[in-house]
Structure 1
Amino acid sequence: MINALESSSTRPYLIRALYEWCTDNGFTPYVAVQVDDTVQVPREYVKNGEIVLNISFDATSSLKLGNDFIAFKARFAGTAREINVPIGRVIAIYARENGQGMAFPAPASAASAPGQPASVDGPAPALRDASRPDGDPKIMHLVTGDELTDESVADASAGDGEPPRPPPATGGAKPSLKRIK
């Protein structure tokens, strides 16, 4: 009999399930990723050590949601890029349209790494802080004062040569979380 410590992580299975739920319901799946040297993403879109990626069918090519990595090809500002994200670096997956999704515990190495920038805006910090210390994921609903905009996401579908615009410097309410039980 396999005990809990010997079993495989539920994270990749939950990510695949929520990705499928998003696509079945016509939503756009986004993943929030805590970036370190093991993550292969366009560094110019990393903000405060994190990046949010649109992983919808329309935004990606050759998407593979494996047990160890999420890998795909995408265009950023018209340039094709290879994206490779270790599953353990994914801190949330959610639907852009309504914010429903799941947060995961932050990677242990990032929580204790000195010099790691602390994120101060966007949905990922609140999601990460809401994660339980026992490692269980939480089902969350992201509540924003305004509609969640593509401006805060490194949107791979932006193949029009225009890089995603940074979030506005002023105005707009900060996102907060509402726990759904």
Structure 2
Amino acid sequence: MMNALESTSTRPYLVRALHEWCTDNGLTPYIAVLADDSVQVPREYVQNGEIVLNVSFDATSALKLDNDFISFKARFGGVAREIMVPMDRVLAIYARENGQGMAFPVAVPSAEAEAEGDAPPAATGEPAAPEAAPAPRAGMQLVQPTDDGVDSDAPDTDPPPPRRKRPALKVVK
């Protein structure tokens, strides 16, 4: 019998579920990623050790949401890039349009593993308990839906971004 410490992480399953939920509801799934040496992302877009990536099917090609990695091809400034993100470096997945999603705790290596050089140093330099909630991220607000479908915690000052229409061809006779 497998105990909780031996079981696989729930993170990849939750990432896939929220990606599917965003896609099914016409929302744009974004992931916030801890950009350390283990991730393959364009470094010129990394800010404060993090990068936010659009992982919608429209923005990516060959998207794979595996248990260990998220990988895809995408264009950054018109240049095609191969992206590879270890699943344990995903900090959050959320919908661009309404901010609904889920944040994950940052993986903190043990002191023994860090001393042996087997794990990257913690992002903040301060170890946190694995069950501790992640710190709020600048520019990202995760919201909890209410019973009536209205978000009571959302600020009233910022209107939601306008929905962009997809380009369409018009037949002219």
The TM-score normalised by the length of structure 1 is: 0.66
Query: What residue identity is the alignment partner of 1:15?
Result: V
Q: Any idea what the Cα deviations from partners look like across 1:29-52, whole Å, max 9, x if unmatched?
A: 000001100011000100000010
Counterpart for residue 69 of structure 1? 69
> Once the 2 structures are TM-superposed, how far is the Cα of residue 111 of structure 1 from its aligned partner?
4.3
- Runs of 4+ aligned structure 1 residues displaced above 3 Å come to 111-114, 139-145
Please say if residues 103 and 140 of structure 1, whose CA atoms lie closer than 8 Å, have aligned partners that are also in contact: no
Q: Distance in 2 between matches of 1:46 and 1:62?
A: 22
> Once the 2 structures are TM-superposed, how far is the Cα of residue 107 of structure 1 from its aligned partner?
2.1
Is 1:29 aligned to 2:29, yes or no? Answer: yes
Counterpart for residue 40 of structure 2? 40
The TM-score normalised by the length of structure 2 is: 0.69
Look at both structures and tell me which one has the larger radius of gyration over its CA atoms.
2
Identity of aligned residues (%): 68
Q: Distance in 2 between matches of 1:63 and 1:110?
A: 28
Q: Distance in 1 between matches of 2:30 and 2:41?
A: 14
Counterparts in 2 of 1:15-164, with a 5 A limit? 15-108=15-108, 109-111=121-123, 113=125, 121-123=138-140, 140=144, 143=154, 145-147=157-159
Measured at CA, do residues 143 and 43 of structure 1 come closer, stay the same or move farther in structure 2, by a change above 3 Å? farther
Alpha-carbon RMSD across the aligned residues, in angstroms, is: 2.5
Q: Any idea what the Cα deviations from partners look like across 1:121-153, whole Å, max 9, x if unmatched?
A: 322xx76xxxxxxxxxxx85794552566xxxx
> Once the 2 structures are TM-superposed, how far is the Cα of residue 55 of structure 1 from its aligned partner?
0.3
The 3-state SS of whatever aligns with 2:122 is helix
Structure with more contact order per residue of length (Cα contacts < 8 Å, sep ≥ 6): 1
Counterpart for residue 113 of structure 2? none
> Once the 2 structures are TM-superposed, how far is the Cα of residue 106 of structure 1 from its aligned partner?
1.2
Measured at CA, do residues 140 and 67 of structure 1 come closer, stay the same or move farther in structure 2, by a change above 3 Å? farther
**Is there any run of 5+ residues in structure 1 with no aligned partner, and where?**
128-138, 150-181
Please say if residues 38 and 85 of structure 1, whose CA atoms lie closer than 8 Å, have aligned partners that are also in contact: yes
Greater share of helix residues, 1 or 2?
1
| Number of residue pairs the alignment of both structures matches | 133
